Amino acid sequence: MLAAAGLAAGAGAAWLAGQNRNFVPYQTVGVPACLLVGWSFIGCGLIARQQRPGNRLGPVMIFVGFAWFATFLTDANNPLLFTFGTAVQSVYLVGFAYLILSFPSGRLHGRLEQGLVWSALAVTTVVPIAAMLASDSGAVLCPGCPANLLEVGRNDGLANGLFQAQRLVGTALAVTAAVLLVGRWRWASPAQRRAVAPVLWTGGATLVTVAVSSVNDAAGQPLGQPPKLVLFAAIATLPVAVLVVLLQRRLARGAVAGLVVELGGRKVASDLRGALARALGDPSVELAYWFDEGQRYVDGGGNLVQLPDPGAGRAVTVVESGGRPVAALIHDPALRENPELADSVCAAAGLALENEALHAELRARLAELQQSRARMAASSGICTTGPSSGWSRS
């Protein structure tokens, strides 16, 4: 149903974009760019929704695609359609901002990201509707436009001021989001960078282009058609980049077959950690084995391992067998966004992990025995029995 609705919305928007009219809307796009952007978001969103049903990225991309097609209602000669299209013509940018700020989890983290999205929503809905209450179509919106049905009382200065404020605030929000992406890239681990690189670069480039377009509009020098085509092409690459990342994650599961072969030919126990690191694409992987008797995790030498606390910049995946823990993988948090890969790798390495856990348990017991003997030796050395005075300190 969503696919059929997307096809219908695209066809309607393309018809509006290509029809002959007696006015020139202030936001024009040709039919190819119209369909390229809208259908790329809806198509990629449907695939992402199927791949990750619990992730919001798919529904957000679908929303952006339909919101994009809604902007072409500004090309309609009907006053009602024109008024509605003008009121919502920038709403698709809210979904765009949410997409790049929440990738790859589909959730916003931190007040700054939430504030940017809510501010973008206000700038793209509340401000233009308030401006339209004082806007005359011909004087403020575009010459020869259909009537603005939201007009309550004409005030050209107020309407132009609100639209100008919308452009300036939108520019500031785009620049802030771009700076946030740069900071996220700078402080990310290598695994996190690999996970978000396509979306981060395409999203950042589009934010810069949107900021430049808003500055030109505010200066009274709107972009010509060629620069606009560059902008729309950049926007259309974002859902493709999201889809590429999702497909890369599915292809990464092919590393599990290589892991099975590698584990079958490994010579020493230390190869296990390296094999898991290569399969997961995370060289920082650490292994800890469950010592049931001591009720703690130990390393390969039997020494105590303290699992990282939540929010410590590391993540933990526990490997179980028969409902009891066998080992724990301490890895980069980026792997949380691809749980299928981690689960497949752990399943493939399950037997090897159980064997190494047994060795670690033996080493831990040996270490405890050595410590117990050391305590007994120290106790017998400190306290001895004297022939005449009972206990004496040696």
User: What's the CA angle centered on 21, arms 17 and 27, to 5 degrees?
Assistant: 50
- Residue 65's pLDDT band, with cuts at 50, 70 and 90, is very high
d(CA 324, CA 321): 6
The string of pLDDT tens digits covering residues 92-130 is: 989 988 988 888 778 888 889 899 999 999 999 999 899
pLDDT of the residue at 268: 45
SS3 content of the chain, % helix, strand, coil (to 5): 65, 10, 25
Report the Cα 156 to chain-centroid distance in Å: 42
The gap from C-alpha 55 to its chain's centroid, in whole angstroms, comes to 10
Residue 390: what pLDDT?
Answer: 42
Give whole-number Cα distances, 172 to 34, 168, 238, 286, 355, in Å: 26, 6, 21, 42, 57
**247-273 pLDDT tens trace:** 776 666 556 656 665 666 555 445 777
Confidence check: pLDDT of 338 > 50: yes
Q: Where are the domains of the chain?
A: 2-252, 264-381
**287 Cα distance to chain centroid:** 27
Structure tokens given for 239: 């859902």
Give the separation between CA 92 and CA 63, rounded to whole angstroms.
8
Q: How far apart are CA 129 and CA 150, in angstroms?
A: 8
For residue 368, give every residue at least 6 positions away whose Cβ sits within 8 Å of its Cβ, in sequence order, or none. Answer: 294
- Whether the CB-CB separation of 177 and 112 falls below 8 Å is answered with no
Average pLDDT value for residue range 174-198:
81
Confidence tier at 222 by pLDDT (50, 70, 90): low
Q: What is the DSSP code string of 142-189?
A: -TTPPP-TT-SS--HHHHHHHHHHHHHHHHHHHHHHHHHHHHHHHH--
Mean pLDDT of the chain: 78
As a whole number, mean pLDDT of residues 30-36 equals 80
- Of 18-22, 57-61, 72-76, give the lowest mean pLDDT range: 18-22
Q: Which pTM value belongs to this model? A: 0.69
Q: How much is the average pLDDT of 67-79?
A: 87
Amino acid at 20: N
Tell me which residue of 22, 28, 132 sits closest to 83, measured CA to CA.
132
Q: What is the pLDDT of residue 326?
A: 80
| pLDDT score for 218 | 63
Q: Enter the tokens of residue 225.
A: 């058609």
